[in-house]
Amino acid sequence: MLGTETGTLTLQQFLPYRLSVLSNRISQSLASKYSERFGINVHEWRILAALGEEAHLSSVALTNRIAMDKVAVSRAVKRLIEKGLLVKHLDKKDQRSHVLALTKHGVGMYQQLIPIALEHEKLMIANLTLKDKQDLLKLLSKLDNTSI
């Protein structure tokens, strides 16, 4: 059972804490696999992954997609542009807005990162049954769609 009904908090049973710790451990574990090889951090990886999945996103759409602080996204975008992995250009539909996209070099890096990420996921969930995996995804979706 998560939490307690006595009005006290047991951190190891507090769902937000457990999810945060697990997320951080998984992200750092994956980051160790690509940071030395590619010179990017977790925030930069998430941006590359989002833009690899959807080719053109505004900064606002990107921030919403990856659920990160907009200052962290802005700093990471700036570093990725400096590294030649991203390009920023005016949105043809809205000249007041900018759109981000991967450069050719960024696409190449994305294509190298994806097999590493998928292998990492495969190893991480190797001890789960197919039903466990399906249930986990279903529960995560339910939690993600809960309005608080």
* pTM score: 0.83
Tens-digit pLDDT profile for residues 23-72:
999 999 999 999 989 999 999 999 999 999 998 998 889 999 998 899 99
Which tokens in the block code for residue 24? 């951080």
- CA distances for 112 relative to 75, 85, 89, 105, angstroms: 23, 13, 25, 11
In a domain, 85, yes or no: yes
Which tokens in the block code for residue 138? 């279903």
CATH of residue 33: 1.10.10.10
Domain range for 42 is: 24-143
In a domain, 2, yes or no: no
Cβ–Cβ under 8 Å, residues 53 and 42: no
Which tokens in the block code for residue 8? 């006290």
Tens-digit pLDDT profile for residues 84-141:
999 999 877 777 778 999 999 999 999 999 999 999 999 999 999 999 999 999 999 9
